[in-house]
Every structure is written in structure tokens, then in C-alpha cells.
Structure 1
């Protein structure tokens, strides 16, 4: 069999197997428009390609289309948990709908330097979740990478609005609590690298409190450890006036607050209401089950893919953040 050795199967091999010209193989496998090729011939070519295990060369495809089909996704050094993993999978699917391959690189040490990665891959576009230096972005563009986008922040040194806004999440949490709670707390993560997400979420809580004439939220930095929130809960309860509702950066911190409440002999929501973000798999299993903000990450993924594709196709791309549908998954904790 032609594909069983170490030599790469080529379009010429497929042409010989199918008994057609190389041009016909190219037209069929690339689905070239306005080519009058009988359906029986098309089927014969596809079957021959499948038998031989033919995979089109990425380099050849780049020469034909004038650009790579790779989109390089840059993950910052964040914990890769349920929501981020789900977003990566949904981005992979969304780009595939546009015949683009989403390839992810994490900056968590000791990863190879970013410049080595994009130079080796020469992607059509780079989609970074966090900000990165403008010097790096400039070098990418100079090398022919057409689209460089930072999802959650500006390229360092340049003011660019985020593609996905985090502030509405905090605002949604606060609005859910303020009908019953006149003093809010905020559970802020102790990982500084999450600040690009945490700061705007906290700003959303602050904005709602200011609009309603409520006190500034009582912000407590909490670790992700099981007992990390005990001192914060004590401080919220001892405040004057006491905090009765807490917005947590995400479900992990919210669950840490719930654990702290139980260890102190307190209950949610009677002693302290708690609302999280992300609807993590364990959120419904906590005691009590956690109320949380749910994002439509599939809509976010498709929106990001569309902006990258529109930029590659030289279409006008909006400057405002993507519409991010939010809903409150109401359970017992708040």
C-alpha cells in the first residue's frame, strides 16, 4: 500500500490510484468551484485519498490560499479548569467551522518563549487570552501574521478595549444580591495573575453599589485552599454594618466561603449569602448548592472566531466587546 512506508503520500499518488490527473485530484480535494467534474469521478478520488491515507500538506495549502490555516491561541499562566478547558474546546470547534485549526500554547513555565512558537508555526492569526507586549505584537505583524488580538486586555502600552468584558459579571452578581442585602463583600483571588479577570468583575460590583447608594463592597483576598476563607468570613460578619451577601470571583472561591461558613457553625444564605461564577461541575453538589452566574462560552467562542475570520478577510470588525449572555443559576446559597 502506498501509504504504508515512511514516504509522505502525495497528490500524484492519489491521481495514480484513482486514474485521474493531478489537477483533478487538486480540484476535488480542495472543492474548487466552477469545475465540471462528474460526481462518480469525485467519489473515486475521495475513496483513493482515504485508502492511501492522504493528508494535504499545510505548506502547500498555505501557498495555494496565500495564508496559513493555523490560529495560535496563547493561554496565560492561569489554572486550566472547567470553564477555560470548555472555552478552548469550543474555540477549536468554532475555528474548524471556518476551516481553521486552533492550536494552543500555554505560557506556564518552563514553556518555550512565545517568539520561538510563532516563528516556528507562522500562524495566520494569534488570539491571546491575556495582554502581551506591543513589541511582540509588532514583531508578529512584521513577520506576516495578519491578526493579533488580546481577548481580556490591551496589548501592553496600547489602549485596546477587551473583546470579552468581565465587568458585567460582577454587576450581575451584585444586582442579584442587592434586593435582599445592603452590604456586600467580594471574595478576591490571591493569584495576582488572575487580576485581568478579577479587577473588572470587582468594578462591576462597585458600580452597582455606587448606583444604588450602597457602601463600597468589603473586599477580602482569599486563597483557593479549603480553609482560605475563614478569616474573611469572620471579618465580613464583624464589619459595621455587617456584610450579609458575598460575590465571589468564581465558584472555587465561593465554595471556599461555603466551607468556611460550615466550619464556623454558620449557614448560607441565612448568615451569609454567596454567589459564584462559572457553574463549575461541583457547584450543584455543595452544601448548600451554589447560586452562580453562567456564561454562554459557546457564544463567546463563535464570536471570537468570527472576529478573527473577518479580520483575515479584511472585513470591518466592531470595536465593542462581544455580547456575552449571562444568566443566574439560582440554587440555595443566595
Structure 2
């Protein structure tokens, strides 16, 4: 519905000058107080007047202007393709929450950015518009040398991208997904399993983890001449799991590493539902291993065996980012995000 009074002008945000007039102080005093630099410069009563005036006016400092004055930005951009964020799972969500809290304590603002996936350079251009102090790509297509160079020219002090290898000028954050598959494969092989299926999710954006995990299982199986590893396509739906379960007798597999706990629980339930018809017991005839060690998998009966990621505390990663922002000439290095181990339970 059209406003009879006509289009309304966008309200002008209050300025630091308005706060200074309301509080009866100089703009420099307002800057000292609202930027946490008042100690030894501004008395307590004047500080109180400035804060009260800012509250009354609804004044919020301009982040971009403050960044220009400080000589560096305060945004730490965490890049993940938009279509993968909902399926990255609780492990990523917990890390993100802790990381953003730690960044805030250090004076930064963490921003999750659904990056364009057309090319690394297109993504870097979109990120550079925000003038971030640091960029972390924790998932999705890795950056390349031109993308890193563009970010550095735009003033980004630290670029960190997921491994195993980073382009020139960027630091590597390594959580080796191949190790997850290696641990799962070694566990199943030690239990006497020799025909191992590895779930490759049909959902978009997960190939960056699924491929290395499959390679890890294959590396574990290479030490056993009688071992076989077979990729299995599976969508995170009951219908897809039922189709895979119905085909199971013809696959001849006695174990499965199901990418993560959600796929593992879904497939194990489908195998159990079809077990009487197929003559297949899961667990028993089929060992099932997931990953991420979700609480739900531990509450399940039979309890789910899972590959657990031992992640570096997010406070340490936030501290690393702060060090790199303050020392932009720090030579690129590999920084491990964690390791993996198997939590053996009832399912395999």
C-alpha cells in the first residue's frame, strides 16, 4: 500500500558531533570514551555523560571510519559457500559459535559470508568489498594465488585457507579429512572387515570432505591385499537409504564408513528395517562407522561407532588470527585445526 504522505526519507543516523553537543564535551572526548581509550584522559563524570548521550541518541560508531583511523579493519570474514552451511553439521556450528565469541573478546567482528562459487577471484572480490582484517576459508573451493593477491592489495592482513596446501601468501588451516577416513578404515580392517563401503553424500558442497575421506579408507586398505573399498552414493533421505539397503545383498559389503553420524544412523536404520527381508544384520553382518561423534549417536541403540575430531580450541585460532593481523609480514605456515580418533561402540 502506498503511503499517502509520499515516500519517507531514510533517517540520518546520529553522529559523534551530536553526542558531543548533547554531553557538552569535545568530539575527541567522545572518541576516547566510545573507543575504550578514556583512561587517564577523561574523568568518570564526563565519561558517564558521553555514554548517556550516546544511549539517548542511539549513536553507534561507524565501523568503516573506525577501521580507517585504526589503520586496520575489525571484520574477520569466515567464508563458506551458502549451499553448504546448513549441512556442515554441529561440529562446524560449535566451532563457529566459540570462534565468534573469542573474536569479539579481541575486538573483532566475525562475519559468516556465503561466498560466490563461480571462481576464487570472484569470491575474493566480494570479500574485499568489506575490507576485512582477515579472511578464513574453512570449507568449499580453496583460494588460488590471484585471489590471495587481490585480498592483500585490498588491505586484508591475514588470509587463511583450508589445506592441505595453501597458495602463496596464505596460511594453511589443516584438518586433514584423509586422516578421518584412514582412522575409520584402519578400525574396520582391524575388526576383520574386508569389503568396505564408503558413503559419498549426494548433497552439494560436501565433496571437499568426502573425497579425502574415501582416499583415507583406500590408503588403509592398501596394506591388505584382500580388502576392497567401494564408493556408495547416498542422499540424506529415507528413500535414498531404503534404495541402498535394498541393493545391499548384491554389493557383498561387510562394513560401511558413512561420511558422518547422520548418514550412518540413516543407513543403519534402513538396513535394520529391511534386515528380515534381506537376511542382513546391522550391526553384525555389516559394521557401521560414522563421524563427528554426535550425542544422538551415543544415545542410539545399538550405539554408533564414530570418528571423533579433536579440534583446536576456537580461542587459540582466534588468537592466531589476531597475531597474524598485527603482524601481516608473518611468513605463511601450516596450522593444524585438529586430529581424529575412533570412538568404538556397538555398531562396528
Identify the TM-score tier after normalising by the shorter chain.
0.7 to 0.9
- In the TM superposition, what is the alpha-carbon distance from 1:170 to its structure 2 partner? 2.0
Please give the alpha-carbon distance, in whole angstroms, between the structure 2 residues aligned to 1:62 and 1:159: 22
Equivalent position of 1:198 in the other structure: 210
Match of 2:285 among 271, 275, 278: 271
Match of 2:113 among 99, 105, 108: 105
Equivalent position of 2:6 in the other structure: none
Structural RMSD (CA): 3.5
Please give the alpha-carbon distance, in whole angstroms, between the structure 2 residues aligned to 1:89 and 1:30: 25
Q: Can you give the 5+ residue segments of structure 2 that lack an aligned partner in the other structure? A: 1-9
Match of 1:24 among 19, 22, 29: 29
Which has the higher mean CA deviation after the structures are superposed, 57-66 or 129-138? Answer: 129-138
Match of 1:80 among 66, 73, 86: 86
The answer to whether residue 73 in structure 2 is matched with residue 59 in structure 1 is no
Which has the higher mean CA deviation after the structures are superposed, 318-327 or 19-28? Answer: 318-327
The answer to whether residue 212 in structure 2 is matched with residue 207 in structure 1 is no
Please give the alpha-carbon distance, in whole angstroms, between the structure 1 residues aligned to 2:340 and 2:165: 23
**Structure-to-structure mapping, 1:35-46, within 5 angstroms:** 35-46=40-51
- In the TM superposition, what is the alpha-carbon distance from 1:261 to its structure 2 partner? 0.9
The answer to whether residue 163 in structure 2 is matched with residue 149 in structure 1 is no
Equivalent position of 1:168 in the other structure: 179
Determine if contact 1:268/1:288 at 8 Å carries over to the other structure: no
Alignment partner of 1:228: what SS? helix
Please give the alpha-carbon distance, in whole angstroms, between the structure 1 residues aligned to 2:64 and 2:221: 55
The normalised TM-score by structure 2 is: 0.77
The answer to whether residue 307 in structure 2 is matched with residue 293 in structure 1 is yes
Count residues with an aligned counterpart.
325
- In the TM superposition, what is the alpha-carbon distance from 1:254 to its structure 2 partner? 1.0
Which has the higher mean CA deviation after the structures are superposed, 177-186 or 278-287? Answer: 278-287
The answer to whether residue 258 in structure 2 is matched with residue 252 in structure 1 is no
The normalised TM-score by structure 1 is: 0.80
The answer to whether residue 8 in structure 2 is matched with residue 8 in structure 1 is no
Please give the alpha-carbon distance, in whole angstroms, between the structure 2 residues aligned to 1:149 and 1:193: 19
Determine if contact 1:125/1:145 at 8 Å carries over to the other structure: yes
Provide closer, same or farther for how the CA distance between residues 12 and 296 of structure 1 changes in structure 2, counting only shifts above 3 A. farther
Match of 1:135 among 140, 146, 159: 146
Please give the alpha-carbon distance, in whole angstroms, between the structure 2 residues aligned to 1:30 and 1:167: 45
Provide closer, same or farther for how the CA distance between residues 22 and 161 of structure 1 changes in structure 2, counting only shifts above 3 A. closer
Please give the alpha-carbon distance, in whole angstroms, between the structure 2 residues aligned to 1:16 and 1:98: 31
- In the TM superposition, what is the alpha-carbon distance from 1:235 to its structure 2 partner? 6.7
- In the TM superposition, what is the alpha-carbon distance from 1:237 to its structure 2 partner? 5.4
